[in-house]
């Protein structure tokens, strides 16, 4: 069965600093990979997705993620965070792009001035 690990439960960064959120997956083949963001009381908004091709994926709000097959990782990065980036971030996988998602437990991001 597929699984997703987000090793960092909570990360605090200063506004303007760079950010990297870790995601590792377990799956027999290369799955479809996603990052979603969830603000309090809201649903999940898709930041970016990886299906195939270029392993560096650009998303919305200045985020990017890199798929590394050898490390079974799909880490999310942003060069300079803004206070509005404070939220919960979820990594997810699916065997195919339109099938059920398996989520990690999430990483809560706090931004300090």
Partner 1 sequence: GAGVSQSPRYKVAKRGQDVALRCDPISGHVSLFWYQQALGQGPEFLTYFQNEAQLDKSGLPSDRFFAERPEGSVSTLKIQRTQQEDSAVYLCASSLGQPNQPQHFGDGTRLSIL
Q: Which is nearer to partner 1, 5 or 15 (CB)?
A: 5
The strand ranges marked E within the chain are: 3-5, 10-14, 19-21, 24-26, 32-38, 44-50, 56-58, 64-68, 73-78, 87-94, 102-103, 107-112
Is the separation of the CB atoms in 110 and 82 below 8 Å? no
Quick one: which of 2, 49, 66, 73 contacts partner 1 (CB under 8 A)?
49
Q: Which is nearer to partner 1, 70 or 96 (CB)?
A: 96
Does 31 sit near partner 1 (CB under 8 A)?
A: no
Which residues of the shown chain bind partner 1 in the complex (CB under 8 A)? 4, 32, 34, 36, 41-46, 49, 51, 90, 92, 96-106
């Amino acid at each position: 069965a597929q699984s997703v690990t987000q090793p960092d439960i909570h990360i605090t960064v200063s506004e303007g600093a760079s950010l990297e959120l870790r995601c590792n997956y377990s799956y027999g083949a290369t799955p479809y990979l996603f990052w979603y963001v969830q603000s309090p009381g809201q649903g999940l908004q898709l930041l970016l997705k990886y299906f195939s091709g270029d392993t560096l994926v650009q998303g919305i709000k200045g985020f990017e993620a890199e798929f590394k097959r050898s490390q079974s990782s799909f880490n999310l990065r942003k060069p300079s965070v803004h206070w509005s980036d404070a939220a919960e971030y979820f990594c997810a996988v699916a065997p195919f792009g339109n099938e059920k998602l398996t989520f990690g437990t999430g990483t809560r991001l706090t931004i300090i001035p």
